[in-house]
Amino acid sequence: MTSVCRNKRLNRWVEEVAALCRPERIHWCDGSRQEYDRLMGEMVSAGTAIPLAGRVNSFLFRSDPSDVARIESRTYLSTRNREDAGPTNNWIAPESLKQTMTSMYDGCMRGRTMYVIPFSMGPIASPLAKIGVQITDSPYAVCNMHIMTRVGERVIQALGKDGEFIPCLHSVGAPLGPGQKDVPWPCAPVEEKYISHFPEENLLWSYGSGYGGNALLGKKCLSLRIASSMARREGWLAEHMLILRLISPEGRRYHIAAAFPSACGKTNLAMIRPTISGWKAETIGDDICWMKIRPDGRLHAINPETGFFGVAPGTSFSSNPVAMGMLRENIIFTNCALTEDGDVWWEGMNGTPERAIDWKGRPWTPGRGEPAAHPNARFTAPAVQCPTEYHDWDDPEGVPIDIFIFGGRRSAVIPLVYEAFDWDHGVFMGASASSEATAAILDKVKPVRRDPFAMSPFCGYNMGDYFRHWLEMGDRLAGKAPRIFYVNWFRKDAEGRWLWPGFGENSRVLKWMCDRVDGRVGAIKTPIGLMPEKGDLDLSGLSIPEADLEELFFIDKDSWRREIPDIHAYFEQFGDRLPDRLRGQLRALDERLLSA
């Protein structure tokens, strides 16, 4: 970094961390291409990164088999009052957690470089942006942060002498003794891994893991767990949502934010290519959505990230051609298979190689009984390479949200689409959102888990208070609140056959939502919400049997009534933190089902 940091608090913190962790050297990251290339070259020389002959400036990493995903059991929310963390978070008292982790940080960077990464989540000039500084001993984390955030001197300049930042401390937890040879993927044993959040201090400490959101602290750690707590205090929203712009043939732009649990098609929807003639889509974000009420009284959103950290398995030219189109160059792949011609491969990609090297570095052939790529194998891709990226990427004001969508993977009960009666009902829909635990369970009635707003693993405070915050945001928005819908692309018939084609055809459902926003179509009032009238869903050019359409929109009142006790049990764990308005919504649903 050529400029000098003038922020006294930051300089003091860097000195304190260096004194504790005792690195061999300190490097302030400038975010330049030269820095990225140098670090990647060093990791290639060390055997950590494998250059890919099949893709320009792209590299494959193989993690340690013990370090392959987020570790929910080792992820903590540390507040003074346990109730403030709530029943959905792992809690440890701050004093105890800091004492444990400080002893682990003591000398943890010996023999390594300590990197200081100043980064901005969101356009630096945006009123919706936040600045963080990550200290890490992982060059892999640095290169990923280059792609996922805005890194470097502009951030230091924006901080100035006394600007606020979120301190994010990370170490792989593998100090090197004199002359000790490093391993390709250093990390600590699982029982020594800690991913710790101190929301009352806007503070992050992570130790022992070099993988994904455990090490890229701008991801879920800052952008959701810490940011959601900040958002509650400051009156905005930090959500686990995609952001999509849909453009009608007339040029009318609609902005949609949608929350889905894992394996429910969030990235596919973010990168949708509409099948309806004349309609276009632009990808604004696939994972994180920060929203504030702006002077026009509307909720404006930004994607605070600058890249995609996507799950590779299942991604193909059939399922997501847009994603495949952006992976041709400048990509970091992690835990994918390596083909003989120097390219990557994973299960679900088009075609199957005759042989490859699997994610553990072993020879692999089809039918071996183990996957070639880890199920959580990832790609890190610059957002600017997305073929459907929106042109006003750095607009500091963000985009005004017209529509919220919640959803999950349910083979029965939930119809294709329905709309909330009002804001409170929409919050209830998000708070009771559910998804089947796994498609591998063979029972007819599959167990489901509640994942409200797709935030269950990511909410940085008690979710009862989180629901209340959403209700209060609706009160503030009043008549300018977005409309709220619920979708289920995954309904099946009695033989297990998909009833809806999904993927690009989902644009037909989105078009109906846009028509509802503009008042062009009506809706049928049902016990669960407002549903399309016959003929209002644009099915032109699509051949779906009438019986399938009826099943897609069929409401089995008995099945819905069986949902009531499960929702009630989920809500009651929050005790008096659960807003009475949600209890009222549950009672109202039960009464509507009884009287229908």
Active site residues: 264
Residue 176: how many other CB atoms lie within 10 Å: 16
Distance (Å, whole) CA 72 – CA 254:
35
* DSSP calls for 287-355: S-EEEEE-TTSSEEEE---SEEEEE-TT--TTT-HHHHHTTSBS-EEES-EEETTS-EE-TTSSS--SS
33-36 own/partner pairs: CB under 8 Å, 24+ apart:
35/142, 35/146, 36/143, 36/146
Q: Are strands 194-198 and 75-77 parallel, antiparallel or unpaired?
A: parallel
Does the CA dihedral 474-258-388-514 come out positive or negative?
A: negative
- Nearest Cα residue to 594 out of 551, 569, 560: 560
Q: By the 8 A CB rule, do 571 and 586 touch?
A: yes
Yes or no: say if 156 and 118 are a contact pair by the CB < 8 Å rule: yes
Non-local (6+) Cβ contacts of 516 within 8 A are: 419, 483, 523, 530
* Cα 460 to Cα 220: distance, rounded to the nearest angstrom: 10
Length of the chain: 596
CA distance 324 to 312: 10
Phi, psi of 361 (to 5 degrees): 85, 20
Give the DSSP letter of residue 220.
I
What is the DSSP code string of 564-581? HHHHHHHHHTTGGGS-HH
Distance of CA 120 to the CA centre of its chain: 17
Nearest to residue 423, comparing CAs of 488, 479, 487?
479
Residue 119's nearest CA partner among 221, 239, 24, 37 is 221
440 Ramachandran zone, left/alpha/beta (phi>0; psi -120 to 50): alpha
